[in-house]
Structure 1
Amino acid sequence: MAAAGATLSMVTVFFEAEIGLLKLQARSLVRYHAPGEFERIVVIDNTHRGVSRRTQERLLRQFGPWRDRVRFVRPQDLTDLPTLPGWVGQQVLKLIVHREIDTSHFLVLDAKNHWIQPTDRSTFLAEDGRARGASHTYRGHALEQRVADVLRYVGVDPQEWLDHFMVTHTPVVVSRDVCADLVSDVERRSGLPFAQEFARAGLLEFPLYAGWIIARDGSLDAEIDGSTVRSTTIWPSRTPRGIAEDLAALDHLDSPFLGIHRKALAKATLTSSRSFARLWAVRGLWSSTTAGLWFIVRFKGAYLRTMTVRRVRTRLAARRRTAVTAPTGRARSGDPS
């Protein structure tokens, strides 16, 4: 059991294409996490216009007994977010959200993460009050250079840490006070708002968090206990055979979370879809394999509509920028010459 002074909230972030995944996450929370052990649940609505009250109510119903602890926030409730790629903006939000947290720690999830076995507060906080969290090597990792750059940014020699450094994928447990001090320090040193400096310097949220602690303390030991909050993640590049192997391995892993990337679910074959649906039925997240398959069908339809709208919006924005910057006296694209 975690130390009496350590308290815990939960933060999750989603955009339009992930509403279905957020629904699944909420259902899994109700089934598998000990009631009442998150003092607050902050849901960051990173959609273009914000979800409707009707959609919020539908999602709140999925949170069941947790619904009174759930608060939806928009990015502008947290910070002035410049125009950033969605992935970068969501990283900023995961750290700046400390402003909405009044517990000592918070669990950060992506919409892709959902519970598949029971957890309680001790899953995320050690007996001495430190956050659970493990490290692994970044030698040969796809993010090796990015992580090294972040470490240099905070004044840490990457060669001393790339062999054993904090994980970069959710779920991650972070300290509210560390996030607050980190954001303040970055703004003070750079002279820029945190979001602007984060984008300018090409930072990554969890490497920045861990690197800043190392720069301050010389190690991660004061904040992170070294144990794993395990999650198996299905990425879009995974083949159907690989997906089947990953799901079969869950029976032998102490993995309370499964992460299914939205693109992986959107392009899942019928075989993979059945594998997901069977797993959810066995774990009690849907009443049957058929119910899980219908969830995937609805998810795929919503995903296609959302990404189509997003592509159209991006193209229109690009055309408007081109029209504004076109040289005076020359015909602009689409104008009669």
Structure 2
Amino acid sequence: MSGILQAIARSPGSACHRPGAAVSRLYACGLEKLRGIDSEVRRKMPETASRDTRLDIVTVVFTDEEPLLALQARSIARFVPKDLIGSIVIFINEYDSGQLENSILKSVVPLYGSLADKVIIKTVRDISEYKATVGWLSQQACKLEAARFVESTYYLTLDAKHHIVSPIDVIDLFDDHGRPIKPFVEARPDQAPWLEDSLRYFDANPAAASERSPASAPPFIMHACTVREMVQEITAREGMDLVKFFDTKSDRSTEFTLYYARLVANQTQSMHLVDGPNGLFTMRIGTTEQRRAALRRGLKGDSRFWCFGIHRKHLIALPPEDRELTLAVWMKHGLFDSLTEATSALDKLERHFNALADQERARFEVARLHRKRLKPRPV
């Protein structure tokens, strides 16, 4: 056992030290404390916020990501209060989805525990017969079209790579006026055109492109009614469904920049979004040191961080230090009851994504040899 994990194991009441009961007590105490704070906050909140604090969760997934979805389901069952959630929509971004849907029903849905009865499974075929050339484009359509299947005023979009690592409740997701919290950032040079094109599409104030705006990535809480109206406008204007729109459009807008641009056009951005703490730390950040710095922030147990993102690419040949930090974060936050259980889960993810990488390399080599055989010989 390495240094960081040994330190956690030696700490009184840690999951490694006293596997089951300690973590249960830690979770229970943390949740009770959070709910106690929440009760105090609720007494000061407007009645409208109290009525609108339930939300739905939407995750778009494809076959390769099923093990990550299983981890997310486990985390939601452990850390999300049942009374916070209206429904959980799993959106399968595949047209031949029968096998994955059956697997999710059998292996993933039970992991949601008491929330399992809230799970709804939809597929991209439910919104379009048009097959996008790139899965990332139909994924964007799925995140917006999910608004037609949700029941709550707001819905939280997640990617399969995200999982919850600490108890969350209303105060983590909404401000005291019931507005969804989302960190606002300066647009990166490569991403600024996303918002510029989105504002132009809805004839919204272009000045918004030069101001801080919500980070264009999940976790992102969206106002369902606004999304539905936006989708209706786009499909009516373009004469095509949303999957085809994303696949064929020439501008650089994305699902989240279009949503924000629509709020700007409606002058309702201050009603449905507020700049607030970033609850996400992820292994996808820039350089190796930046990535590890993010993991160390999560390890400190900062209460702001409730969502952990592990991109599947980082699970291929995972460096030992990243592996150690990942396990340490899981154990620090009590996602697993024992280090053995956490290690087994990470081993399974690594095996899965390394096997997929091996298959991809094999396909690439076959294609390379095929092209070589077809290459004309010099005369």
TM over 0.5: yes
**1:250-269 matches, cutoff 5 A:** 250=298, 251=300, 252=302, 254-269=304-319
Following TM superposition, by how much is the alpha carbon of 1:227 offset from its aligned partner in structure 2, in angstroms? 2.7
8 Å CA contact 2:62–2:92 kept in 1: the answer is yes
Please list the CA deviations of residues 175-203 of structure 1 after superposition, one character each: whole Å capped at 9, or x if unmatched: 11001100011122222222222331443
Distance 1:300 1:214 in 2: 42
Alignment pair present for 1:184 and 2:195: no
Task: Give ranges in structure 1 of 5+ residues lacking alignment.
Answer: 318-332
Alpha-carbon distance between aligned partners in 2 of 1:66 and 1:314, rounded to the nearest angstrom: 41
Shift of 1:159: 4.2
CA distance in 1 between counterparts of 2:239 and 2:365 reads 34
Counterpart in 2 of 1:227?
Answer: 276
1:88 aligns with 2:137: yes
Which stretch has the larger CA shift, 95-104 or 142-151? Answer: 142-151
Shift of 1:245: 2.0
Cα drift, residue 153 of structure 1:
2.1
Give the whole-Å Cα distance in 2 for the aligned partners of 1:249 and 1:100. Answer: 36
Would the aligned equivalents of 1:130 and 1:223 in 2 still touch at CA under 8 Å? yes
What letter matches 1:100 in structure 2?
A: F
Counterparts in 2 of 1:275 and 1:91: CA distance versus 1, 3 Å: same
The question of whether the paired residues in 1 share the 8 Å contact of 2:162 and 2:308 is answered with yes
Structure 1 residues 227 and 307: CA distance shift in structure 2, 3 A: same
**Counterpart-to-counterpart distance in 2, 1:195 and 1:71:** 20
Amino acid at match of 1:4: R
Secondary structure, counterpart of 2:271 in structure 1:
coil
Could you tell me which residue of structure 2 aligns to residue 273 of structure 1? 323
Question: 1:151 corresponds to which residue?
Answer: 199
Contact in 1 for aligned 2:93/2:142 (Cα 8 Å): no
Q: Which shows bigger deviation, 161-170 or 206-215?
A: 161-170
Partner in structure 1 of residue 65 of structure 2? 18
Please identify which structure carries the higher helix content.
2
Distance 2:330 2:176 in 1: 31
- 1:57–1:235 CA distance, 2 compared to 1 (3 A): same
Deviation at 1:127, TM superposition (A): 4.0
Matching of residue 119 in structure 1 with residue 168 in structure 2 = yes
Q: Which residue of 2 aligns with 1:301?
A: 351
The Cα of 1:30 is off from its aligned counterpart by: 1.6
Other-structure match for 2:184: 135
Match of 1:284 in 2: 334
TM-score by length of 2: 0.76
Match of 1:8 in 2: 55
Query: What is the count of residue pairs matched by the alignment?
Result: 319
In the alignment, the residues of structure 2 paired with residue 60 and residue 267 of structure 1 have an alpha-carbon distance, to the nearest angstrom, of 29
Q: Displacement of 1:173 after TM fit? A: 0.6
Per-residue Cα deviation, 1:21-68 (whole angstroms, up to 9, x for no partner): 111111111221122311100011224632152442210121111111
Q: Is the contact made by 1:8 and 1:38 (CA closer than 8 Å) also made in structure 2?
A: yes
Match of 2:280, as an amino acid?
S
Contact 1:94 1:205 (8 Å CA) reproduced? yes
Closer/same/farther in 2, CA of residues 285 and 48 from structure 1, 3 Å limit: farther
Match of 1:63 among 109, 112, 119: 112
* 1:161 counterpart = 2:209: yes
- What secondary structure is seen at the aligned counterpart in 1 of 2:108? helix
1:236 shift after superposition: 6.6
Per the alignment, residue 28 of structure 1 pairs with: 75
- Partner AA of 1:21 in structure 2: L
RMSD between aligned residues: 2.8
Distance 2:357 2:122 in 1: 23
Match of 1:171 among 209, 219, 233: 219
Instruction: Tell me, yes or no, if the aligned pair for 1:210 and 1:220 is still in contact at 8 Å.
Output: yes
Identity of aligned residues (%): 22
Task: Judge conservation of contact 2:61–2:160 (CA < 8 Å) in 1.
Answer: yes
List runs of 5+ in structure 2 lacking aligned partners. 1-41, 43-48, 368-373
The TM-score normalised by the length of structure 1 is 0.84
Secondary structure, counterpart of 2:121 in structure 1: strand
